[in-house]
Structure 1
Amino acid sequence: MNDRMMKAVLYDRYGGPGVLYTGRVPRPEPAPGEVLVKVRAFSVNGGELAARAGRLRLLTGRTFPKRVGLDFTGEVAAPGAGVTDFAAGDRVWGVLGRTGFGSAAEYLTVPVERIGRLPDDLDPVDAAALPVTTTAITALRDKAGLRPGERLLVRGAAGGVGNAAVQLGRAYGAEVTALARAANHDFVRGLGAHRAVDHRDVRPAELGRFDVVLDTVGTDLRTFRRLLNPGGRMVTIAFDLKRPVASLGYLAASTVHGRGRVRFFSGNPERANFDDLARHVAEGKLRPAVDTVFPLEETAAAHRELEAGGVRGKYVVRVA
């Protein structure tokens, strides 16, 4: 077998999960300042589902084949020129972020500043549920400034970022209300939620008032913004993909009007964020929540399950 080739998950046209297939592509070589990572596992994220379906085609274009996979765990296979702080064999985790997709593969190259050291006591497959939770840390601690005793509402509480927000909210001393399907209420309570509510049975206006709202869904932002107490803060990591122009326009207008504005950001973690994540894990503030583990050849099934809804934590894909 040609060791210059590797397996990767690809698609040749936009569409449903069925467009994904496992093909062979050239194994990359690290440029100066990069590392070559042998991938052990990655998780499936909502953004890549939207990209695969063509909802972001104005950004992703029409050049095919395209790749999937945003985050990863693995080992450094080879450091590029000028890299001195990581060596072959070092266990790492990271997020490709704005550099694009492509972690659904046996190897990837990534700038050295976009990885961190994977804690020794974490299994790399379980740990693949955690890299994107750096978004929850940034959202609650840095963007919202969540304080002990405040009331926190987490929308999409059983999902990949939402489950981490529930754990962190409890660890930061907040009173946590989790919006999730009734079938997931025991799950989110087990993560630390003081109260679990089925978003399909209760109108937002009946939820009460909150100091911080963390939204992972992106729809009805105006409605949930009205739940803020005076001085409250709302952070969203998503926008309405069915109405992207209107949704982003509302976010921009909200930012101009400072009181009760909705803070929107897209996670783009670097080394310091992964160091933070490792500390949160070591202090017991965060633990990985893995729903199901799929083999690489069944990445399409993982996409299909995430689109169906009801995930508890993360769907993780193990690379052989």
Structure 2
Amino acid sequence: MKAVQITSFGAPDVLRVNDVDRPAPGPGEVLVSVEASSVNGHDVIVRAGELKMVSGRRFPIGVGLDFAGVVVATGADVAGYRAGDRVWGMVHPRHRHTTGGAAEHVVVSTDRIAHAPAGLSPVDAASLVVAGATALIALRDSVHLAGGERVLVRGAAGGVGTAAVQLAHALGGHVTALARDRHAQLLTDLGADEVLDYGSTTSGQIGPFDVIVDTVGSELNCYRSRLAKGGRMVTVGLSAGALAAIAASSVYGARRIRTFSANPDTAVLRDLAGHITSGALRPVVDSVYPLEDIAAAHEAFERGGVVGKHVVAVSA
């Protein structure tokens, strides 16, 4: 089978589409024929070698966190899934040696998948696994957004950002989206009450906010200062500078900068599907690339300006 692998750290051109043996599911696992996967920031920084402490230096490393596809085989002790079921899910970031989601087949534990929402194409489903789950965990579990609170979504036009705008609106927040001015109409359609152009708006000009969801990972202290009394902030844009700011912010107690590792389990994926079924959350796909062009997808991600998600179509 075909699988995208990293055999050395570096730029997108280190990505290789290699022929590998098809894996077999063990106890509690299923084998999924992957139809689509998406490009996530985690994939990019692992490929660049910025997470060696997590990914390790043992090659090859599989590429792709998320996937949507069809169950083709089950291991022992699997209940609730059978061949032919359409599923979506996420490969654990530490379990991606040889293959990840960007492969024709992937083996995954049943606690990291759920039945895919009815009516979504594989491309649309793959676009929402990591982005949607990250936004949901951030808003619901990390900062506990309550109805009527003022929420800022920074980097609102990206994958996590577009999901966060929609979910914050669905949870009853008054949503301010910070993004490029040309995305104002899209973000308004997704539920933003106000859209600010990040090119002409500084952190000192806005707020205060009860909740800030940051997807960028820079100027974190400047934005943290725009929290209202009792406000909470979470960032999913991690870098060395961001980690330092997060650690330093602990002196502010409840008004510190929070972060988390988005590893959605079945329960989160089911909750996410509920928001999709209710109409509160819809996919936003920037572009779709064939598996063979995944390097181009990574290049496009790194150029920035993405609206929603770049998705890799693995099979028809």
TM superposition score category, shorter chain reference: over 0.9
Unaligned runs of 5+ in 1: 1-5
| 1:187 corresponds to | 186
| 2:195 corresponds to | 196
Alignment of 1:89-104 (within 5 A): 89-101=84-96, 102-104=100-102
Show CA shifts across 1:188-213 (max 9, x none): 22211111122221111101210100
Q: Work out the CA distance in 2 between the residues paired with 1:89 and 1:108.
A: 15
Question: Would you say 1:215 and 2:214 are equivalent positions?
Answer: yes
Letter in 1 for 2:124: D
Q: Work out the CA distance in 2 between the residues paired with 1:293 and 1:9.
A: 16
| 2:230 corresponds to | 231
Q: Work out the CA distance in 1 between the residues paired with 2:256 and 2:92.
A: 25
Give the CA deviation at 1:256: 5.2
Letter in 1 for 2:225: R
Show CA shifts across 1:282-310 (max 9, x none): 11110111111111111111111111111
Contact 2:117–2:125 (CA under 8 A) maintained in structure 1: no
Task: Determine helix, strand or coil for the equivalent of 1:98.
Answer: coil
**Ranges of 4+ aligned residues in structure 1 off by more than 4 Å:** none
Give the CA deviation at 1:51: 0.8
Give the CA deviation at 1:103: 0.7
Identity in percent: 51
Question: Would you say 1:52 and 2:47 are equivalent positions?
Answer: yes
Letter in 1 for 2:12: P
Q: Work out the CA distance in 1 between the residues paired with 2:188 and 2:19.
A: 43
Give the CA deviation at 1:15: 1.2
- Superposition RMSD in Å: 1.4
Q: Work out the CA distance in 1 between the residues paired with 2:86 and 2:272.
A: 15
Q: Work out the CA distance in 1 between the residues paired with 2:193 and 2:57.
A: 46
Q: Work out the CA distance in 2 between the residues paired with 1:145 and 1:66.
A: 35
Contact 1:18–1:300 (CA under 8 A) maintained in structure 2: yes
Give the CA deviation at 1:149: 1.6
Aligned length: 311
Letter in 2 for 1:37: V
Q: Work out the CA distance in 2 between the residues paired with 1:247 and 1:304.
A: 23
Going from structure 1 to structure 2, the CA distance change for 1:17 and 1:123 (only over 3 Å counts) comes to same
Give the CA deviation at 1:177: 0.9
Show CA shifts across 1:1-48 (max 9, x none): xxxxx1011222111111112111111111111111110101100111
* 1:15 maps to which of 2, 10, 26: 10
Contact 2:54–2:94 (CA under 8 A) maintained in structure 1: no
| 1:147 corresponds to | 146
Show CA shifts across 1:251-299 (max 9, x none): 2343354131111111011010011011111111101111111111111
Show CA shifts across 1:77-106 (max 9, x none): 101111021101110000113344411100
* 1:37 maps to which of 28, 32, 40: 32
Question: Would you say 1:86 and 2:81 are equivalent positions?
Answer: yes
Unaligned runs of 5+ in 2: none
Q: Work out the CA distance in 2 between the residues paired with 1:120 and 1:151.
A: 32
Letter in 2 for 1:188: L
Q: TM-score, normalised by structure 2?
A: 0.95
Letter in 2 for 1:205: G
* 2:107 maps to which of 109, 117, 129: 109
Contact 1:75–1:92 (CA under 8 A) maintained in structure 2: yes
Going from structure 1 to structure 2, the CA distance change for 1:100 and 1:220 (only over 3 Å counts) comes to farther
| 1:167 corresponds to | 166
Letter in 1 for 2:109: P
Contact 2:36–2:312 (CA under 8 A) maintained in structure 1: yes
Letter in 1 for 2:35: R
Task: Determine helix, strand or coil for the equivalent of 2:245.
Answer: helix
* 1:315 maps to which of 306, 310, 316: 310
Letter in 1 for 2:197: D
Letter in 2 for 1:144: V
Q: Work out the CA distance in 1 between the residues paired with 2:154 and 2:264.
A: 22
